[in-house]
């Protein structure tokens, strides 16, 4: 049973809160309170009796007429663009930065043990809402939930925001459900006493502030801009840079191909010139040798040809045979070299044409 001592009215440990919850999980300690959104006095009485929230602070800093302020503390997970997944535990007073255009999963401080006749809803504090921070969808906690709550925070602005462990993050409201056959009311004898305090809205909350006042106070005068246009512009700039780099690479490749084509053309011309030169030189030597053989034959036809003349005729025959063989080799070889060079130039030209045909595709992929 909850203590009637005002100092120890609330559970002093998580173990004690668990014991109170087990007693009142399906037993309503205050059946006279109708199903409705609980005010701060009714909420404090239910927490004291059931151990629904631990730790719990009954003071004007944490309570408004119909909501309770809950702090950020415990494990968190973020994904960094360079380091990947990062997780740690946020302790009281420890800083945590929610970076621009990022999402983080953070844990709330209390341990919740929700009786079967109460449901919870929550949302960000007004300060964080006007900073441009979004809370993940689904802020309803059903009856029977036991555990600590984790929530996703979306920062879709261009500002970095720093949080401290123990800093209040959300406002939570508690609603008593309509009657259910599984819920039993506590007897007057066994039911805890009522001792809750009804807290009023602070005077500063009744100042009729404008949206300008809220935004200025939330962001300390900094502009609150969406990070989406910057991200789009960054992607556009990257795409344009990639397109320019592709075009520069294509131009460099075309210059290289033109140089190689010119070099091959020069080599072809030189090869053909060399082949023609070899053929002409061989043909000239062949004609010279043939003329000398004819002259020697005329000399040998004289009445008394010398043995020296006969020897020269044999040597010239051998030379003619060698020149004839060289001519048979040089001419086909020259033709083959020329054909190889022609095919090489044709191949490079064809690839160059194919690469040029791809260039319009680069322009088509460029961002508008």
Any idea what the CATH number is for the domain that residue 298 is in?
1.10.287
Q: What is the pLDDT of residues 255-287, one digit of tens each?
A: 777 777 676 677 667 666 766 666 676 667 667
User: Is residue 209 located within the same domain as residue 308?
Assistant: no
355 within some domain: yes
The reply to whether 68 and 189 lie within a common domain is: yes
Quote the DSSP letter at residue 26. S
Say whether both 171 and 318 belong to one domain.
Answer: no
Model pLDDT, residue 360: 45
Quick one: 279 and 350 in the same domain?
A: yes
In a domain, 73, yes or no: yes
For 260, list phi and psi in degrees, rounded to 5: -65, -40
The H or E element containing residue 97 is: strand 95-98
Q: Do 248 and 329 reside in the same domain of the chain?
A: yes
| Measured distance CA(153)–CA(125) in Å, rounded | 12
Q: What is the dihedral of CA 348, 352, 354, 358, to 10 degrees?
A: 150
Give me 337's structure tokens: 């070299």
Residues 257 and 314 in one domain: yes
Shared domain for 183 and 270, answered yes or no, is no
The CA distance from 79 to 255, in Å, is 45
Same domain, 107 and 184: yes
314 in the same domain as 182: no
pTM to 2 decimals? 0.61
Of residues 185 and 204, the one with the higher pLDDT is 185
Distances (CA, A) of 348 to 77, 247, 266, 268, 341: 55, 20, 14, 14, 11
Residue 139 pLDDT: 77
Whether 1 is in a domain gets the answer: no
Mean pLDDT in residue range 93-116: 94
Q: Does 56 have pLDDT greater than 90?
A: yes
- Is 138 inside a domain boundary? yes
Task: Establish whether the linkage from the previous residue to 55 is cis, with ω within 30° of 0.
Answer: yes
| 119 Cα distance to chain centroid | 38
Three-state secondary structure call for residue 214: helix
Give tens-digit pLDDT for 300-336: 666 555 666 667 667 766 776 776 676 666 667 767 7
Query: Does 236 lie in the same domain as 87?
Result: no
d(CA 293, CA 285): 12
The total domain count for the chain is 2
CATH of residue 103: 2.70.40.10
Contact indicator for 109, 68 with CB cutoff of 8 Å: no
Angle formed at CA 40 by CA 36 and CA 45, multiple of 5 degrees: 85
Q: Can you give the residue range of the structural domain that contains 248? A: 228-365
pLDDT (tens digit, 9 = 90+) per residue, 236-257? Answer: 666 667 677 777 777 777 777 7
Residue 132 clears pLDDT 90, i.e. is over it: no
């Amino acid at each position: 049973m909850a203590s009637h001592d005002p100092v120890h009215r609330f559970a002093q440990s998580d173990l004690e809160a668990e014991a109170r919850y087990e007693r009142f999980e399906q037993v309503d300690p205050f059946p006279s309170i109708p199903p409705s959104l609980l005010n701060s006095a009714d909420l404090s009485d239910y927490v004291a009796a059931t151990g629904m929230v631990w730790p719990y602070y009954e003071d004007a800093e944490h309570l408004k007429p119909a909501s309770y302020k809950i702090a950020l503390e415990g494990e968190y997970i973020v994904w960094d663009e360079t380091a990947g997944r990062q997780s740690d535990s946020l302790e009281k007073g420890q800083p945590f930065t929610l970076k621009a255009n990022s999402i983080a999963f953070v844990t709330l401080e209390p341990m919740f043990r929700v009786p079967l006749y109460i449901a919870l809803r929550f949302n960000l504090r007004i300060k964080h809402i006007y900073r441009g921070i979004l809370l993940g969808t689904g802020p309803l906690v059903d009856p029977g939930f036991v555990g600590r709550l984790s929530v996703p925070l979306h920062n879709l602005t261009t500002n970095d925001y720093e949080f401290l462990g123990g800093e209040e993050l959300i406002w939570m409201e508690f609603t008593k459900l309509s009657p259910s056959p599984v819920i039993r009311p506590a007897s007057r004898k066994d039911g805890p006493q009522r001792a809750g305090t009804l807290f009023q809205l602070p005077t500063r909350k009744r100042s009729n502030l404008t949206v300008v006042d809220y935004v200025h106070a939330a962001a300390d005068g900094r502009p609150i801009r969406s990070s989406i246009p910057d991200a789009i512009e960054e992607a556009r700039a990257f795409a344009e840079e990639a397109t320019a780099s592709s075009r520069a690479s294509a131009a460099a490749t075309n210059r290289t191909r033109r140089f190689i084509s010119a070099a091959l053309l020069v080599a072809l011309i030189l090869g053909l010139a060399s082949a023609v030169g070899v053929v002409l030189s061989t043909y000239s030597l062949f004609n010279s040798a043939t003329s000398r053989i004819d002259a020697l034959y005329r000399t040998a036809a004289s009445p008394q040809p010398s043995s020296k003349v006969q020897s020269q005729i044999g040597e010239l025959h051998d030379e003619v045979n060698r020149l004839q063989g060289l001519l048979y080799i040089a001419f086909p070889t020259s033709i083959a070299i020329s054909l190889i060079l022609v095919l090489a130039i044709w191949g490079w030209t064809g690839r160059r044409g194919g690469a040029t045909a791809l260039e319009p595709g680069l322009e088509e992929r460029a961002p508008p």
